Homo-oligomer: A and B are copies of this chain.
Amino acid sequence: MGVPLYQAKAELFKTLGHPARIRILELLSERDHAVHELLEQIEIEPSNLSQQLAVLRRTSMVSSHRVGSEVVYSVSIPEVRDLLLAARTILSGLIAVQGELGTELASTPS
């Protein structure tokens, strides 16, 4: 007997409910990245990034392997992309209706 499904869903969404984790997943869904490459793109302390990566690892959303002195991360659930895209669609809808943040959406690719 496991956790009820609605609770598992809530936990999945909770995992996505953090700006740094969203950025990590967006970067990783383009291609694999080493931690220091993520660090260049995301404004955050190394230890904080590590913590956020740990959260994503715990929920099996990403996996890591060592390559020499680097640790490379990849998305292990490709469907996460769908979730991010659906979110984007909803946000464009909201923005169209409420009229805010318009240019942001039009110009950035993800």
Give the most central of A8, A83, A98: most B CB within 10 Å. A8
Residues of chain B within 8 A (CB-CB) of A1 are 104
CB distance from A42 to the nearest CB of B (A): 9
Number of interface residues of A (CB under 8 A): 47
Please give, as numbers and ranges, the residues of chain B lying within 8 Å of A83 by CB-CB distance: 83, 86-87, 90
**Stoichiometry, copies per complex:** 2
Quick one: which of A1-43 are within 8 Å of B by CB?
Answer: 1-19, 21-23, 26
In the bound complex, residues from chain B placing their C-beta under 8 Å from that of A69 are none
Taking the complex as formed, is A72 at the interface, i.e. its CB lies under 8 A from any CB of chain B?
no
Q: List 8 A-B contacts (CB under 8 A).
A: A4-B19, A5-B105, A5-B110, A9-B22, A10-B16, A11-B17, A13-B14, A77-B90
